[in-house]
Amino acid sequence: MIIVIDGYNVLKQISFGRHVSEQERNQFIHMLSIYRRRKKHSIVLVFDGGPDTWPSKEIISKIQVMYSGSRKNADTVIMEYLKGHSTQDLLLVSSDNELCHFANKYEIVSIGSQEFHSVLQEAVAVDDDSFAQQEPEIELDETEHDLNTLMEAGSRVVPQKDEDKPAFGKTQESLQRSSKRDRALLKKLNKL
């Protein structure tokens, strides 16, 4: 899947509209590179402005970073990208209504900036290597050897599998009644 991200839209949403520093931008790119490596998705990150008058791009940590230049804005660059790659497996990350409506015309699923940022933080926070090295912390009373007590204590240190987590508030029954667009969104969310 190719995740197309409206860069400043995400950063402004999570910073509540205040100015986004270069350090915050670089930290966001670093988080995306960890996410990309773990999830094996391609990421296209689009920002307004940039070093040139015309749109330009560079690769940072295997993430395609595109700049709109001074003659276009990021929304226009994103729309051109979506239109040109509409036959591919795409997900748009933006809370911009116009962009989401445009993506919907091409049957491209979109997710809001804050929702994606939550998914991103959760994925980056999981440290697979440290979990494998952890010793379970189960304290048992030496006098109690009840199987139920052992199982209950053990279940507290077992991580929840992705398929056991709620599907963003949707139940199986409501999924069957969902619109085509909602089902497509859920399918993309499960890939995230």
For 105-130, write each residue's pLDDT tens digit: 999 999 999 999 999 998 888 754 44
Domains of the chain plus CATH, in order, are: 2-124 (3.40.50), 136-191 (no CATH)
Give me the pLDDT at residue 130, please: 45
Q: What is the rounded CA–CA span in Å between residue 87 and residue 69?
A: 26
Whether the CB-CB separation of 28 and 63 falls below 8 Å is answered with: no
Q: What percentage of the chain reaches a pLDDT higher than 90? A: 53
State the pLDDT confidence band at 177, using cuts at 50, 70 and 90. low
The SS3 assignment for 109 reads strand
Does the model's pTM come out above 0.85?
Answer: no
Q: What is the rounded CA–CA span in Å between residue 28 and residue 11?
A: 8
Q: For residues 138 and 32, which has the higher predicted lDDT (pLDDT)? A: 32
